[in-house]
Amino acid sequence: MFANITPFDFKKDQFIWLDFSAKNKDISPQLAENVETFNTYIFHELAKSKVKTGIGGWLENRIIYQSKDHFQAGKSRNIHLGVDIWAEASTPLFAPENCLVHSFQNNNNPGDYGPTIILKSINSEIFYLFGHLTATSLQNIYKGKAILAGENFAQIGPFPENGNWPPHLHFQVMNTMLEKKGDFPGVCAEDDLKFYQSICLNPYDFLNL
């Protein structure tokens, strides 16, 4: 059993699943080109369902990345390796278990994670990536800092400082960092999926769903 990483208890609180694959006919690459339009769409969906959060995305083949140069440079990437939790900016975030800060940085390329913190479990070789945070989340943090289970250590960031996305948390769980620090691929190409699926664990298992 893990501590809830958001204020939402997914076993009790209502939420909706948000689909950004080609199956959702309301979604297009053009929608994601304008962050304000994309933001309006997401929070309209939440309001329509009278919920405060939407989740989804693990191993989803997303068409929204087609409009993002960050994911089209070199090999085209479109498979989402984490889970997204869509909620208002400034929503507090909590550690899922007792951890140490592994690394952090502001990945500030357009469409990237923006402010990012990676925690390492003190009990195992498990790493937790929290992306699209507030810039202030990177203040008063340092490598090796202890973060206790359930401790508030960051917040969901607003656009444009969060990588210029509608407010959400990108949460990803890995069993190795591949010697990376402050960053890790959150989207992969289809022909790399087998490799990354062996590294990126099912994040829903860590959300008490």
Q: Which CATH fold topology does 16-199+202-206 show?
A: Glucose Permease (Domain IIA) (2.70.70)
pLDDT at 64: 75
CA distance 45 to 146: 37
The pLDDT score that the predictor gives to residue 65 is 73
Grouped pLDDT means (10 residues each) for the chain, 209 residues: 94 92 85 90 96 95 71 74 98 98 95 96 97 97 98 98 96 98 95 96 93
Structural contact between residues 25 and 48, judged by C-beta atoms closer than 8 angstroms: no
pLDDT for the residue 28: 81
DSSP for 43-89 reads HHHHHHTT-S-EEE-TT-BBSGGGG-HHHHSSS---EE-SEEEE--T
Tell me the pTM: 0.94
Q: Identify the pLDDT of residue 70.
A: 60
* pLDDT at residue number 138: 98
End-to-end distance of the chain based on CA atoms, in angstroms? 11
Burial class (CB in 10 A: 0-12, 13-18, 19+), 108: middle
pLDDT of 131: 98
Helices and strands (H and E) in the chain: how many: 4, 13
What secondary structure does DSSP assign to 109-155, as a single string? Answer: STTS-EEEEEEEESSSS-EEEEESB-GGGGTT--TT-EE-TT-EEEE
Q: What is the pLDDT of residue 27?
A: 84
